[in-house]
Amino acid sequence: MPDEILPSESRRQSCNPHESHHRVSGRIPPLGEERAQATVEMAVVAPVLIVLALIAYNLMLFLSASARFDRVVPDIVIAQGVSPQTAGVDPGSVLDASGVIQAQLASAMEGYEVEIEVSSSSSENASSSMLSLVGSLRTYRCTMRMRPWPSGLSIAGVELGAPAVLVHERAVTIDPWRPGVVV
């Protein structure tokens, strides 16, 4: 067999791709060359990984806040929007419970750094008929705004953070004559 005739060195295959190059050129690489390359690669990849981790963290935090917001908005709108508190309130704004709903939502969303805004609109037409005195369907549009972390961080005079604001909106339409019913 021809395999038995070859010397042991020529039959051996190297696992190191640089070894054949060293035999040809006769040059031996510096001792830390391969480790230095890994350090440079890590220095390039580490900031990208940190940014990806911050994006994932902010996304999970926003999704968690959105889930809580979606659960509490209908309950608070039904509880406060159908029968608003009228003690010490201007009689013209009795049907608009936006301020009370906004305060209740802010209380329910404690633990998350979010801004809550509530606006309301009515589906009634501006007419002078007797039916315009009867309350019609009312839509409360609840908006949650969240600034990703870090938003106000400054290092050496350089502002760090995401310039965007994440927004989630939920609209709930209620009938003031049928308590507990979402239309």
The answer to the question of residue 35 being in a domain is yes
The answer to the question of residue 13 being in a domain is no
Classify residue 146 as exposed, middle or buried by CB count within 10 Å of its CB (0-12, 13-18, 19+).
buried
Domain range enclosing 82: 30-174
pLDDT of residue 12: 52
The domain total for the chain is 1
- Joined tokens for residue 79: 């509880």
The answer to the question of residue 20 being in a domain is no
The answer to the question of residue 112 being in a domain is yes
Residue 22 has pLDDT above 60, yes or no: no
The answer to the question of residue 8 being in a domain is no
The answer to the question of residue 65 being in a domain is yes
Residue in this structure with the two tokens 């690669």, named with its chain if needed: 41
- CA dihedral 38→41→43→46, nearest 10 degrees, is -110
The answer to the question of residue 183 being in a domain is no
Residue 27 CB-half CA count within 13 A? 5
Of 180 and 143, more confident: 143
pLDDT in tens, 149-160: 877 667 777 777
Contact 148, 166 (CB under 8 A): yes
Residue 14 has pLDDT above 60, yes or no: no
pLDDT in tens, 85-117: 555 555 455 567 888 999 999 999 999 999 999
The answer to the question of residue 152 being in a domain is yes
